[in-house]
Structure 1
Amino acid sequence: MARDRPYLWRNHREAIASGYLDRGVSSAISFPTGGGKSTLAELKIATALLRGEKVVFLAPTHSLVGQTARALKKTFQSYDIIGDIEEDVTLVDAVILPEVTVTTPERCLMLMSIQPEAFAGLGLIVFDECHLLHPRDEDRSRRGIDAMLALLNLTSLAPEADLLLLSAMMKNTEEISGWIEWLTGRKCLTLDLAWKPTRQVRGCVVYPAEQISNLNKKILQARRAKPKQRAAPTALKRELLASPFGLFSLLQTWGTMDRQDYALLPLLKTPQPLSTGVRKLGGWYLTPNGNQTSGAIAAASVSAGMREVL
């Protein structure tokens, strides 16, 4: 690890100086993408392994489990790292966790319910993409509940284990740190520095306010003409066209109101179709039709000789 990455960035050094690597210190990290969260996580994992402690790394999806396990195996080549808990574990199986277990919260919950004693000696609990603890209002799945149950059960089975929560989308990092301190009874660092070593263009797709206002009026008029129809008619959807623009900035947090910090540029030569959704109590509302619009932007980018990743 030291040969591949011999330098620590200033946010890494500040975290270490604050006691980040100390036993008994948990952390909530909300650095932006590319800000060095993975390096800090591996440093914390390294200290646990050097003390002879086991690590459980929670990742929300199977693809992220595989990606994380491969990265950790590359870094910690002399340690036993498993990318997920076997699906066919039964009540009679004697499970011995490896030194690092990377798994989904759901699979972790399954094993804890069968053999809680397998988590003896656990020294570190890492939760990547921890913002999933609080799902969006429209999310009707159990992912948030399962993630919280996994975290609470792990801290109950291994009360001395440090916690490390990671997410680039965590806005209330200090509040989360306070909750972890209450949960563990020990110190938890708030690491939310917006600095990163590279300048990266950030952008979002926006539409002219006048066009959106006119489309909303058109939807309202059509709804009044057909108050009992559940979904918007196809003829109306064909008329919902707007011109996408890209709002770009080199700032990480969109933190100023200074016009010169931003650039507004047209993304496509022709207006793109938006779509509609249906409200719970009836009525239609405008939606961005994100998949089709992003596909059109990607195709235009490729035509312009740019590499595109969706």
Structure 2
Amino acid sequence: MPEIRHLLSLNDLSVSEIEAIARRGVSVSRDPGVCGRPLSDRIVGVYFRATSTRTRTSFTTAAMRLGAQVVSYGPADLQLNTGETVEDTARVLSGMLDGLVARTVGPFHELRALADQPRMAVVNAMNSDEHPTQALADLTTLLSRFGGLEGLSLLYAGEGNNTAVALARSLPLFRGVRLELRTPPGHGLDPVVLAESLALAERHGSTVVERHDMEELPGHVDAVYTTRWQTTGTTKADPTWRDLFVPFTVDSALMDRWPAALFLHDLPAHRGDEVTARVLDGPSSIAFEQAQNKFNSAVAVLEWCLA
């Protein structure tokens, strides 16, 4: 039986593996016919405990395009809801499935438990800690547009959520990159994650900065990135939290600072909150190209895990 590989966190992958997956995504975006049907004898489960448009559709269609059969599970479909342990569920599913793409929303231990078996590849399609496949789609998009990742400057404005974590664990791996995170007070990156990211930057010759205001912005930016303020599956205890987020809205005045900069958003977007309609629907926005790259990078991920 061919070797399987899990994709749970970007921390588990080497720089060369991350770049290879992203570059494969670029190849698929330019010629979908390069894929073939290498998974024609495989069965892939798609298990989502939270809402999803792009990630669920991209992995389902990618698996089917690669020739796999797909079993889809909703949030109430597995006996986990009746008290079966994750470990027992993993033993059962790994005897029937070749791969499982899972959005658990909860912390990593559940994904690690699902992956603690040798027969079924597990892909983290987002949990509360990290959204690694989003970062791979983002890297695919940046590679497609800029031809390389080294030396890029990206400004991220918004919550230090799982998408921001994935960016902080991927972009600093490439020399000369500058990742500037501007997060509202009290809603920044987890300090442990920030420390990891700063260490990666030091090791690889890149720069990571986090500030909790929108003052003294960098003079040059290649891309501006934001995400929705209310991350899927989460709530905020502070009833006045929106007041802290308003200064971080990406509007035309912000984008006009860097006329050549591209705008990215992992979607879904709330026009008028984290981004204005004029920016999201404007000429600098590649958010919907980025969404298409969820499919292209999903093909690359499934090939890497299973082919």
TM-score between both structures, scaled by the size of structure 2: 0.36
RCO (CA 8 Å, sep 6+): is it higher in 1 or 2?
Answer: 2
Structure with more of its chain in strand, by fraction: 1
Q: Which has the higher Rg, Structure 1 or Structure 2?
A: 1
TM-score between both structures, scaled by the size of structure 1: 0.36
